[in-house]
């Protein structure tokens, strides 16, 4: 089996249905089956539930139509057309074996079968199964939620067909967007083996040391490079009822001398919480909850004061996150990991105890759970979202220092830690990252074909140019990469200065022929620097603000009509100005998890760097293309008289999109909304984004001709503005729009309808840009706008009044 064209998922629980959704996000049709329950259609119900889930499992709601549902008893014959069958049934060996017997009878020859087990070793799963089943079988362990968690642990057995394993690795990497880590066939594999140990150590040490869960999570999060949920918040997120099940499964299969057996405690209070319905976020609460006795509308968070012997609802007290954040170990995180664990505070002592045991355990397992320290580090970074893996953390502490501390506390120093000695687990040699192997030699970290990372390029080169807001890198083959480096990757004068210099460099040199805008931060760009804007408005520097807006317009327009192609390659949030530079580009190559939008109305203004203009142009282009496709005709006269391409059609769509600050929740949704074009590219795997963007830029650079400025934009004028204002008035009357919404909408409507023009006249791009500046500045002087900008800076949320 070399191609995967259709997939079956057996089991429609949270994981099974989530995997099915991600398969459809990759464009693969899915058969989703579950057990037969009288009066219920579990698989169909699971699909309907996902359509209402937030964050959404589907990148497009229409993807749900790609799932065919049924029951294992009545519809198992549907899997005969499937190339890959994923088992996601109960984590009980006897249930899985019974399911495999049914699959074996119905599947076609050569189809690949995999299990999503989180803890059961492969050799136990294939016990008693036919040879041809074992040959086609492997473990593909997804993490929850499957759309958003990047790790996929791949486990193959001694009999697994190598070609089948390569096929699954390839599809999981390229089409499902996963970071595939091959693990050894051991209990819990990499991430859960270490992750469950870490969570268990975190709970135990908090109880042992009498540390509150607020303090525990405050220090065991951002200060040590772990997500803000910390230990207790993460257990709430995944479900408190899941922890005993994971522990039970691990304890049934782990070696007798494994360190997890030594630290495991079956706490009575945990069972009490589960019995009382306190299973975490999915239940009545967990280690944290909202105070049920708080005044209506108030959201007072409470934390559990743990009594290890029992659980009572009266044990909840007010959560003191701010007080917990005052622990010295929390602020020490700015100085590095070692500063945190050396801090003599309750937070510092807690962090040291938990990390000491967890990192030592990781070092003990090298060669057992995975062949390399790099695989272990990748597993924890991708599966638990740690900023650094265990061995990168030991490097931060200093391996020799860590080994000495273990000796001082009477703990055995793991072999690989003793072997690295005064050295480090990672080093840079010849511009390449190397890791320390079990053979006591250093080995290059090898990236898969089609992966290009800016962080790797930085190891062997200096930027072509840089300032405090941006850097420009040569990524090879005549392509430059523009990287934001400002806070939240916002646009400021330094950003524009560097874009101008970059354009001049490319146009003035025979060495360069294309530009990619890209960075490897969590988010592409949060748009304009609101702090700078607030400062200028506070001291009435309105001329300077207008100059800043016009500067941005000119830079973006110059890039749009430059003599080289521009490709924008976003991932994460691309908001406001961050979205406008996408609209400026010749092409967009977006990571599937791109969340873009023109959200300026949230701070009381409208897009000022060409966002209104570009949305009109894109939506009109889409209308013309649709009409031409429908009628099979091409020509402006024919299209102009189509009722589907009147000036008002694109205007109405743009007004709704910008006026409601609509944010696309995936790159696919951005295409549907109109931010992206159908011809723009989407990359599923984040690590492949720069490579794909560069390839797109090189393709465009062949015989490149810049676009011509639009000179004949037709818009409806005052009559169109009146229609839009009437719609907003109705919303205002029904209480769905505020007084200020009416003000902002009026200015937005004036820009989108072309000001004082009418449908018999035409406008240029420059005309629309002038309208944007005029209306933007008028709004900036409007009472209430300043308060909205301040509120956004303080809370990260728009002010609604």
pLDDT digits (tens, 9 = 90+) for 118-150: 888 999 999 999 999 999 999 999 999 999 999
Own/partner pairs, 381-385, CB within 8 angstroms, 24+ separation: 382/143, 382/149, 382/150, 382/151, 382/179, 382/181, 382/191, 383/143, 383/149, 383/151, 383/153, 383/190, 383/191, 383/192, 383/195, 384/191, 384/195, 384/198, 384/226, 384/227, 385/226, 385/227
pLDDT at 626: 81
User: pLDDT > 70: what percent of the chain?
Assistant: 98
What is d(CA 590, CA 595) in angstroms, rounded to the nearest whole number?
10
pLDDT digits (tens, 9 = 90+) for 250-270: 999 899 999 999 999 999 999
pLDDT digits (tens, 9 = 90+) for 532-589: 777 887 777 889 999 999 999 999 999 999 999 999 999 999 999 999 999 999 999 9
pLDDT digits (tens, 9 = 90+) for 69-119: 999 999 999 999 999 999 999 989 999 999 999 999 999 999 999 999 988
pLDDT at 646: 65
Residue 219 has pLDDT above 90, yes or no: yes
pLDDT digits (tens, 9 = 90+) for 199-213: 999 999 999 999 999
pLDDT at 640: 44
pLDDT digits (tens, 9 = 90+) for 711-748: 889 999 999 999 999 999 999 999 999 999 999 999 99
Residue 632 has pLDDT above 70, yes or no: no
pLDDT digits (tens, 9 = 90+) for 103-114: 999 999 999 999
pLDDT bracket for residue 428 (50, 70, 90): very high
What would the mean pLDDT of 188-206 be, rounded to a whole number?
96
pLDDT digits (tens, 9 = 90+) for 456-476: 999 999 999 999 999 999 999
- Count of alpha carbons within 13 Å of 242, Cβ hemisphere only? 21
What is d(CA 303, CA 324) in angstroms, rounded to the nearest whole number?
12
What would the mean pLDDT of 602-618 be, rounded to a whole number?
95
Comparing CA positions, the residue from 376, 369, 485 lying closest to residue 436 is 376
Residue 641 has pLDDT above 70, yes or no: no
Residue 224 CA to chain centroid, in angstroms?
21
pLDDT bracket for residue 760 (50, 70, 90): confident
Question: How does the average pLDDT of the chain come out, rounded?
Answer: 94
pLDDT at 642: 47
Residue 508 has pLDDT above 90, yes or no: yes
Instruction: List the structure tokens of 576.
Output: 């406001």
pLDDT digits (tens, 9 = 90+) for 362-403: 999 999 999 999 999 999 999 999 999 999 999 999 999 999
């Amino acid at each position: 089996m070399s191609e995967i064209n259709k997939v079956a998922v057996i089991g429609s629980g949270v994981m099974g249905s989530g995997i099915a959704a991600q398969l459809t996000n990759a464009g693969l049709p899915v058969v989703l089956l579950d057990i037969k329950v009288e009066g219920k259609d579990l698989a169909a119900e699971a699909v309907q539930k996902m359509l209402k889930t937030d964050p959404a499992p589907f990148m497009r709601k229409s993807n749900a139509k790609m799932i065919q549902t049924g029951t294992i008893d009545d519809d198992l014959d549907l899997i005969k057309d499937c190339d890959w069958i994923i088992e996601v049934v109960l984590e009980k060996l006897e249930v899985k074996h019974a399911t495999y017997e049914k699959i074996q009878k119905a599947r076609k020859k050569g189809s690949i079968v995999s299990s999503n087990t989180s803890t059961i070793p492969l050799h136990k799963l294939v016990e008693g199964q036919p040879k041809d089943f074992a040959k086609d079988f492997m473990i593909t362990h997804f993490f929850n939620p499957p759309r958003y968690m990047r790790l996929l642990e791949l486990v193959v057995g001694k009999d697994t067909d190598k070609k089948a394993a390569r096929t699954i690795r390839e599809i999981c990497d390229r089409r499902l967007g996963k970071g595939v880590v091959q693990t050894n066939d051991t209990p819990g594999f990499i991430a859960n083996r270490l992750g469950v140990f870490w969570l268990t150590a975190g709970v135990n040490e908090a109880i042992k040391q009498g540390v509150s869960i607020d303090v525990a999570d405050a220090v065991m999060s951002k200060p040590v490079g772990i997500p803000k949920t910390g230990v207790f918040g993460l257990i709430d997120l995944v479900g408190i009822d899941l922890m005993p099940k994971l522990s039970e499964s691990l304890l049934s299969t782990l070696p007798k001398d494994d360190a997890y057996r030594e630290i495991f405690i079956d706490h009575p209070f945990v069972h009490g919480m589960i019995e009382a319905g306190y299973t975490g976020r999915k239940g009545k609460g967990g280690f944290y909850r909202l105070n049920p006795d708080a005044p209506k509308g108030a959201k007072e968070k409470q934390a559990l004061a743990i009594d290890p012997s029992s659980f009572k609802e009266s044990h909840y007290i007010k959560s003191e996150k701010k007080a917990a954040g005052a622990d010295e170990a929390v602020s020490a995180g700015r100085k590095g990991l070692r500063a945190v664990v050396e801090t003599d505070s309750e937070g510092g002592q807690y962090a040291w105890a938990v990390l000491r045991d967890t990192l030592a355990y990781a070092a003990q397992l090298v060669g057992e759970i995975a062949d390399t320290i790099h695989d272990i580090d990748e597993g924890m970074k991708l599966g638990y979202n740690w900023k650094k893996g265990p061995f990168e953390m030991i490097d931060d502490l200093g391996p020799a220092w860590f080994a000495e501390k273990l000796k001082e506390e009477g703990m055995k120093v793991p072999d690989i830690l003793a072997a690295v000695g005064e050295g480090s687990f990672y080093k840079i040699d010849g511009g390449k990252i190397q890791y320390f192997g079990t053979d006591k030699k250093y080995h290059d970290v090898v990236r898969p074909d089609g992966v290009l990372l800016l962080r790797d390029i930085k190891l062997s080169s200096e930027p072509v140019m840089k300032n405090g807001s941006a850097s420009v890198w040569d990524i090879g083959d005549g392509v430059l990469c523009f990287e934001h480096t400002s806070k939240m990757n916002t646009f400021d004068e330094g950003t524009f200065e560097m874009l101008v210099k970059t354009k001049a460099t490319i146009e003035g040199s025979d060495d360069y022929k294309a530009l990619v805008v890209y960075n490897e931060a969590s988010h592409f760009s949060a748009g304009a620097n609101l702090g700078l804007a607030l400062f200028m408005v506070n001291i009435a520097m309105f001329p300077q603000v207008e100059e800043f807006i016009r500067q941005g317009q000119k830079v973006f327009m110059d890039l749009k009509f430059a003599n080289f192609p521009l490709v924008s390659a976003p991932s994460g949030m691309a908001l406001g100005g961050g979205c406008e530079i996408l609209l400026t580009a010749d092409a967009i190559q977006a990571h599937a998890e791109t969340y873009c939008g023109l959200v300026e109305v949230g701070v009381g203004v409208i897009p000022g760097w060409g966002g209104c203009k570009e949305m009109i142009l894109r939506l009109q282009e889409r209308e013309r293309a649709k009409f031409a496709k429908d009628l099979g005709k091409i020509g402006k006269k024919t299209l102009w008289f189509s009722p589907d391409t009147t000036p008002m059609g694109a205007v109405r769509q743009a007004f709704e999109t910008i006026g409601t600050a609509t944010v696309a929740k995936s790159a696919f949704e951005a295409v549907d909304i109109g931010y992206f074009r159908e011809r723009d590219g989407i990359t599923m795997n984040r690590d492949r984004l720069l490579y794909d963007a560069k390839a797109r830029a090189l393709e465009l650079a062949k015989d490149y001709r810049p676009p011509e400025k639009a000179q004949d934009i037709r818009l409806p004028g005052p009559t169109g503005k009146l229609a839009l204002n009437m719609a907003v008035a109705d919303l205002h009357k029904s209480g769905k729009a505020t007084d200020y919404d009416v003000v902002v909408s009026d200015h937005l409507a004036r820009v989108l309808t072309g000001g004082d023009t009418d449908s018999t006249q035409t406008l240029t791009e420059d005309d629309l840009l002038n309208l944007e500046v005029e209306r933007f500045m008028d709004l900036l002087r409007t009472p209430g706008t300043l308060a909205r900008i301040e509120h956004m800076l303080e809370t990260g949320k728009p002010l609604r009044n």
